[in-house]
Amino acid sequence: MNNIITTKRLTIRPIELEDVYEIHKYASDKGITMMMFLPNESLEETLRFVEYAVNEWNKIEPDDREYVIIFNETIIVGINLGYSKDRKSCEIGWTIHKMYRNKGFSTEAANALVEYAFNTLKVEKITAHCDSKNVASENVMKKLHMKLVSDNGTRYYPQTGVTSGEYLYSISKQIYDNISLKENI
């Protein structure tokens, strides 16, 4: 199975050990306030994450598929597809380097991975969560034609001790196929 995906502007590929320094550039950003496991305090913390992701890719059937998004030969986004226990659905999530925000990169990459998850991995549903104050991520979910399933979740940020609201969005394969058919007409 080919795990490299290309779009008009981006290459989406599995994370590699050599990516640790580029990933740390955005994973250590102290301005990240709405990600549960970021920012990373040290390069070693980022390395542990990268090692975990690479080990997942070395499995015959990874449970977690962590990708990097490359634009002009630079890693700008981390994006993930994580299977549910029954492997019938995936959760998608992303983090983007602050220099590349508000340029459509997250939407472009997430759209490509949604298509990949439905058409290659054959999942039935894709979900995504975001902090209730994270308008940018919520807008990406809406652009992916995901629908709000729940607005009463909560999330806890261990780094800051803050608890916040959380949204859950979802799209089914059937709805995705109907939207794709309409957009191709």
Say how far apart CA 32 and CA 25 lie, in whole Å: 12
Tens-place pLDDT, residues 146-166: 999 999 999 887 777 888 899
Task: Give yes or no for residue 185 having a pLDDT over 50.
Answer: no
CA atoms of 137 and 35, how far apart (whole Å): 11
Tens digits of per-residue pLDDT, 101-121?
889 999 999 999 999 999 999
- Phi/psi for 118 (5° steps) reads -75, -45
Q: How far is CA 184 from CA 6, 112, 119, 160, 170, in A?
A: 19, 16, 16, 45, 22
Residue 138: per-residue pLDDT: 94
Fold exhibited by the domain 5-183: Aminopeptidase (3.40.630)
Extents of the domains making up the chain:
5-183
Give tens-digit pLDDT for 7-46: 999 999 999 999 988 887 777 766 655 554 554 567 888 8
- Rounded CA gap, 31 and 33, in Å? 6
Handedness of CA 42, 68, 48, 125 (dihedral sign): positive
- Of the pLDDT bands very low, low, confident and very high (cuts 50, 70, 90), residue 183 is low
